[in-house]
Amino acid sequence: MTAEPSLTFAYEPNATPVAANERAARLVAPQFGRVFTDHMAMIRYSDDKGWHDARITARAPLSMDPASSVLHYAQEIFEGMKAYRLADGGTALFRPEANARRFQASARRMAMAELPEHLFLESIERLVEIDRDWIPTSDEGALYLRPFMIASEVFLGVKPSAEYLYMVLASSVGAYFKGGAPTVSIWVSQDYTRAAPGGTGEAKCGGNYATSLVAQAEAIRNGCDQVVFLDAVERRYVEELGGMNVFFVFDDGSMATPPLRGTILPGITRDSILTIARAQGITVREEPYAIDQWRADAASGRLVEAFACGTAAVVTPIGSVAEPQGRFEIGGGGPGQLTLRMRDALVAIQRGTAPDTNGWLHRLD
């Protein structure tokens, strides 16, 4: 084992930060992903120097060579997490170590350099501490953090890049879906799949999103909010939405979610809900669930609720499911009881209003 590389982050304060009154105006009702803080984190990697040049610097456009390999072969991965204001006035990240490990797993799948966990954590801690005033004070507000890494070697040959640029952006966000927990309608994609066995489904890479957009556009054309994908082999089993995992709730009080077998993104929200549900004595199965079964169970009343989950939107009730042959409603179309209970339990831990029995909060003070 080689020693963990130790790096000191240089801090280059933004010389022209947004004025306090202007910042307050931008934080009133921030649209997701549009309001950015004054700074960003960056660390460079090269095969010969390893990880180097760690900085917290003013957020600014990048200048890059048009032959940078990410622009041609899409060697890119990202993460998504939030910093929350706690009920006691402190600030915390939620399970950032899990994001650090998933970022490493994504890097391995994409043949990229693996950022050591402590550098991932430090980049985020430093950035949040510096831009803490950008966390909205509203109930559902948070600072959304977007770590990502791109292949930055200037070379048109096809091979793993010898250089990478890792960065973290911070973006002030309010509620993802306005007005609490509105239900979403979802479209079952028939023509497109998201991930095949052996592919990149469990890596958080931009490419997975690029290929989902045409299916998402089709969902909108069919009057739905989101798309849900079926497995690529049998076109039968429900996998996940474009960017959220999915759960089903049954009339016997049990829950189910598709198992992680390489084609589904291992969501940290998914894992947290599994843990919370089991601690509450709820039976949760990780098992394949077929779209035909979903339709039949919704009709018979065996299926009473369904919801999607992920960091950005937390827990989102699914009200109806549309297919070319028709549409079916779930539990009368409104948010279900267990869905709201799971959301409230998770949010309470994230905001520090419920005991953090799993040690999920990573305090910054």
Ligand X SMILES: *Cc1c(COP(=O)(O)O)cnc(C)c1O
**The pair of three-digit structure tokens given for residue 52, joined into one six-digit string:** 């180097």
Half-sphere exposure at residue 255, Cβ-oriented, CA atoms within 13 angstroms: 24
**The pair of three-digit structure tokens given for residue 211, joined into one six-digit string:** 């290929």
**Please, which residue, 147 or 243, has the CB nearer to ligand X?**
243
If phi > 0 it is left, if psi is from -120 to 50 it is alpha, else beta; for residue 28 that is alpha
147 binds ligand X (CB under 6 A): no
Q: How far is the CB of 176 from ligand X (least distance, A)?
A: 11
Q: Which of 195, 208, 262 is nearest to 78 (CA)?
A: 208
Q: What CA–CA distance (Å, rounded) separates 27 from 141?
A: 9
Q: Which helix (H) or strand (E) holds 322?
A: strand 314-323
**Please, which residue, 183 or 316, has the CB nearer to ligand X?**
316
Q: What share of the chain is helix, strand, coil (3-state, %, to 5)?
A: 25, 30, 45
240 binds ligand X (CB under 6 A): yes
Q: What CA–CA distance (Å, rounded) separates 303 from 206?
A: 33
**Please, which residue, 171 or 245, has the CB nearer to ligand X?**
245
- Residue 78 near residue 146 (C-beta atoms within 8 A): yes
Q: Which of 64, 35, 61 is nearest to 165 (CA)?
A: 64
Among positions 32, 42, 72, 80, the unique one binding ligand X when judged by CB under 6 A:
80
**Please, which residue, 40 or 314, has the CB nearer to ligand X?**
314
226 binds ligand X (CB under 6 A): no
Window 342-361: contact mask with ligand X (x via CB under 6 A): --------------------
Q: Which helix (H) or strand (E) holds 39?
A: strand 39-46
116 binds ligand X (CB under 6 A): no
215 binds ligand X (CB under 6 A): no
**Please, which residue, 176 or 250, has the CB nearer to ligand X?**
176
96 binds ligand X (CB under 6 A): no
Do β-strands 255-257 and 284-286 pair in parallel, antiparallel, or remain unpaired?
parallel
Question: Dihedral of CA 251/254/258/261: which sign?
Answer: negative
| Contact stretch for ligand X (CB under 6 A) within 25-33, 65-73, 237-245, 275-283 | 237-245
**Please, which residue, 147 or 336, has the CB nearer to ligand X?**
147
Residue type, 147: P
Among positions 136, 141, 147, 267, the unique one binding ligand X when judged by CB under 6 A:
267
SS3 for 323?
Answer: strand
243 binds ligand X (CB under 6 A): yes
Among positions 70, 107, 268, 304, the unique one binding ligand X when judged by CB under 6 A:
268
Q: How far is the CB of 177 from ligand X (least distance, A)?
A: 15
Q: How far is the CB of 310 from ligand X (least distance, A)?
A: 3
- Residue 312 near residue 32 (C-beta atoms within 8 A): yes
| Contact stretch for ligand X (CB under 6 A) within 16-24, 137-145, 219-227, 240-248 | 240-248
Q: Restricting to residues 282-321, which ones interact with ligand X according to CB under 6 A?
A: 310-311
37 binds ligand X (CB under 6 A): no
238 binds ligand X (CB under 6 A): no
Q: How far is the CB of 217 from ligand X (least distance, A)?
A: 17
- Residue 201 near residue 212 (C-beta atoms within 8 A): no
Q: What CA–CA distance (Å, rounded) separates 179 from 192?
A: 31
Q: How far is the CB of 133 from ligand X (least distance, A)?
A: 25
231 binds ligand X (CB under 6 A): no
**Please, which residue, 175 or 268, has the CB nearer to ligand X?**
268
Residues binding ligand X: number (CB under 6 A): 13
**Please, which residue, 56 or 195, has the CB nearer to ligand X?**
195
Structure-token match 């960017």, residue found: 243
Q: Which of 38, 204, 53, 45 is nearest to 128 (CA)?
A: 38
Q: Which helix (H) or strand (E) holds 275?
A: helix 268-279
Q: How far is the CB of 309 from ligand X (least distance, A)?
A: 6
**Please, which residue, 155 or 176, has the CB nearer to ligand X?**
176
Q: Which residues bind ligand X (CB under 6 A)?
A: 80, 204, 240, 243-245, 265, 267-270, 310-311
